[in-house]
């Protein structure tokens, strides 16, 4: 309810008044779209079936299903802090979109006692969204090793359900997985965050797997801030490929940058017979191999760039065997010197020649764009730190202790952001299909999700009234959501 109904007058225009009224208004209408994505894919049911909830049933007010939706909806709508759950807990659209209950019951509030005391604590009837302390305890419940593994597995599950739903239940024949690392800057001394000399900041350095072809995130794993790009890459990628080839495709290829091509990583992919392409860092040996080919052809330089490819084999000192490498030489009209770099692959020249390999490698830019949207639009706030509890039930503790694993908490927060990204991306991709136009995630959030509406409550139903502009976009998007319907196979 709005407490202050006093109108305000704008000084620049005396005819303009600002007034608060006790009406159900919202700017979170897009939560309905995101809830529909979750409902059609059935991903919340999957999470509830696999996550372990150790709470005592008699004390549960908010089931895991509602807490998961609360996290994904708030993150999808742009609310990064757990405190936002308190500020928005009485928003009508969020309450309807989060709740397991049907009808208008999610909008009900617990009645006060007859003597005017606060409402009774009946666990069966949530009074608004979960509070900030409840959301914090939820993060803690998800931070166990088993629950974090479920969240990671859920990224592939959601991507697989979306792809198979759009393809009549069938997997893709081929799929290229992009494996990369990301800097997540922090402003504090969160456990595991360290100064990274390459990025010149204190940060975490997670490893991320995504798909340029579909835009989905497939896995993320938080790592300490100063680890090298490829650290833990083999243990990250091999189980991931097993899951991908069950859920998403028949054959998975891997695309990686220059930080990954070491013997353990390449050897592991070759052992599984997964194709790969990567860039190789220049060194003295490769410079000498390239030197004979770094001469401009006789004649006037052309006005357009030119590219040459030269096939060779190369064996770095730590490698167990020689591998196929391609020298890519670039001539640009505005530059006096030729540029060059090296690609490495286990595809044969008959399977993929130099031009095709370069075109495929350059698709990494698309994957980096999607990962950039995660960091730019969602901006995961990894702020959990061990804070000793000083009081318990109003009494000061003699020996304050912190029992939380703050690193695990931050990994959970990062995973929740990644899953929320996949949910929002699923809706964004449908909008692109419906409009035959490109939609950035930020544009989609601003024009489709973060739109204002009035909620009219009648005796048996609630009607959400949109303005003219978002109505046209929703009218285009809404029929597409049914294409995400996922039917599990027995």
Residue 394: what pLDDT?
66
Instruction: Give domain status of residue 295, yes or no.
Output: yes
In the numeric block, the tokens 């303005």 are attached to: 467
Number of residues that this document lists for the chain: 490
Sign of CA dihedral 45, 46, 49, 53: negative
> Sheet containing 453-457: which strands, arranged edge to edge?
25-26, 453-457, 462-466
In the numeric block, the tokens 């407490």 are attached to: 3
Calculate the CA 440 to chain-centre distance: 14
How far, in Å, CA of 29 to CA of 51, rounded?
Answer: 28
Half-sphere exposure of 4 (CA within 13 A, CB side): 4
Residue 13: what pLDDT?
87
Structure token digits, residue 67? 């807490």
Q: What is the pTM of this model?
A: 0.91
Range with the poorest average pLDDT among 9-13, 260-264, 285-289: 9-13
pLDDT digits (tens, 9 = 90+) for 216-245: 999 999 999 999 999 999 999 999 999 999
Cβ(93)–Cβ(455) below 8 Å: yes
Cβ(156)–Cβ(175) below 8 Å: no
**DSSP character string of 271-337:** HHT--EEEEE---HHHHHHHGGG--PPSSPPPSS-EEEEEEEEE--TT-SS-EEEEEEEEE-TT-SS
Instruction: Give domain status of residue 160, yes or no.
Output: no
**DSSP character string of 116-146:** SPPPP--TTS--SSPPHHHHHHHHHHHTSHH
pLDDT digits (tens, 9 = 90+) for 140-150: 999 999 999 99
How far, in Å, CA of 414 to CA of 463, rounded?
Answer: 34
Instruction: Give domain status of residue 100, yes or no.
Output: no
Residue 458: what pLDDT?
87
Cβ(31)–Cβ(73) below 8 Å: yes
Helices 233-247, 263-272: crossing angle, 10 deg rounding: 20
For residue 453, the SS3 value is strand
Residue 478: what pLDDT?
96
Structure token digits, residue 87? 């500020």
Q: How many independent structural domains does the chain possess?
A: 1
| Contacts with 57 (C-beta within 8 Å, 6 or more apart), sequence order | none
How far, in Å, CA of 177 to CA of 443, rounded?
Answer: 26
Residue 253: what pLDDT?
96
The torsion angles phi and psi of 398, rounded to 5 degrees, stand at: -70, -40
Percent of the chain topping pLDDT 70? 92
How far, in Å, CA of 470 to CA of 462, rounded?
Answer: 19
Instruction: Give domain status of residue 117, yes or no.
Output: no
Is the predicted pLDDT of residue 192 greater than 80, yes or no? yes
Domain that holds residue 334: 276-345
Instruction: Give domain status of residue 176, yes or no.
Output: no
Give 402's pLDDT tier (boundaries 50, 70, 90): low
Instruction: Give domain status of residue 174, yes or no.
Output: no
pLDDT digits (tens, 9 = 90+) for 153-189: 999 999 999 999 999 999 999 999 999 999 999 998 8
Instruction: Give domain status of residue 297, yes or no.
Output: yes
Residue 401: what pLDDT?
61
| Contacts with 417 (C-beta within 8 Å, 6 or more apart), sequence order | 75, 374, 378, 380
**DSSP character string of 418-455:** HHHHHHHHHHHHHHHHHHTS---HHHHIIIIIS--EEE
Q: What is the mean pLDDT of the chain?
A: 90
Cβ(360)–Cβ(176) below 8 Å: yes
Instruction: Give domain status of residue 299, yes or no.
Output: yes
Is the predicted pLDDT of residue 2 greater than 50, yes or no? no
Is the predicted pLDDT of residue 395 greater than 80, yes or no? no
């Amino acid at each position: 309810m709005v407490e202050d109904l006093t109108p305000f007058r704008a000084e620049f225009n005396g005819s303009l008044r600002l007034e608060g009224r006790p009406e159900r208004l919202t700017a979170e209408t897009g939560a309905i779209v995101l809830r529909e994505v979750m409902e059609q894919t059935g991903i919340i049911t999957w999470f509830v079936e696999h996550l372990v909830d150790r709470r005592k049933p008699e004390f549960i007010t908010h089931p895991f299903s509602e807490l998961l939706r609360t996290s994904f909806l708030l993150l999808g709508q742009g609310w990064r802090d757990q405190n936002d759950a308190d500020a928005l807990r009485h928003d009508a659209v969020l309450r309807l979109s989060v709740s397991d209950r049907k009808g208008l019951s999610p909008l009900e509030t617990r009645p006060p006692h007859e003597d005017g005391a606060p409402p009774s604590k009946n666990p069966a009837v949530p009074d608004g969204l979960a509070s900030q302390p409840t959301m914090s305890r939820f993060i803690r419940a998800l931070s166990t090793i088993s629950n974090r593994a479920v969240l990671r597995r859920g990224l592939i599950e959601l991507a697989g359900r979306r792809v198979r739903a759009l393809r009549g239940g069938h997997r893709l024949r081929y799929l290229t997985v992009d494996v990369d690392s990301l800097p997540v800057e922090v402003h504090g001394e969160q456990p595991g965050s360290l100064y990274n000399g390459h990025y010149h900041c204190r940060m975490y350095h997670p490893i991320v797997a995504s798909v340029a072809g579909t835009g989905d995130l497939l896995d993320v794993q938080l790592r300490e801030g100063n680890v090298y790009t490829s650290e833990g890459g083999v243990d990250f990628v091999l189980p991931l490929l097993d899951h991908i080839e069950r859920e998403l495709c028949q054959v998975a290829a891997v695309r990686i940058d220059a930080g990954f091509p070491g013997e353990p990583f390449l050897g592991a992919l070759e052992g599984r017979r997964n194709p790969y392409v990567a860039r190789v860092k220049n060194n003295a040996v490769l410079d000498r191999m390239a030197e004979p080919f770094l001469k401009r052809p006789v004649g006037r330089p052309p006005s357009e760039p030119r590219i040459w490819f030269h096939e060779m084999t190369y064996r770095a000192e730590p490698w167990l065997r020689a591998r196929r490498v391609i020298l890519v030489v670039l001539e640009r009209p505005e530059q006096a010197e030729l540029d060059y770099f090296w690609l490495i692959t286990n595809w044969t020249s008959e399977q993929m020649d130099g031009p095709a390999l370069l075109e495929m490698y350059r698709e990494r830019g698309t994957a980096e764009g999607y990962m950039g949207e995660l960091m730019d639009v969602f901006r995961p706030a990894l702020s959990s730190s061990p804070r000793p509890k000083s009081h318990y039930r109003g009494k000061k503790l003699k020996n304050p202790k912190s029992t939380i694993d703050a690193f695990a908490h931050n990994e959970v927060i990062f995973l929740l952001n990644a899953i929320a990204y996949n949910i929002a991306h699923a809706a964004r991709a449908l909008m692109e299909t419906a409009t035959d136009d490109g939609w950035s995630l930020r544009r989609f959030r601003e024009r489709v999700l973060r739109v204002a509406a009035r909620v009219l409550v009648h005796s048996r139903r609630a009607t959400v009234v949109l303005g003219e502009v978002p109505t046209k976009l929703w009218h285009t998007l809404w029929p597409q959501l049914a294409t995400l319907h996922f039917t599990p196979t027995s």
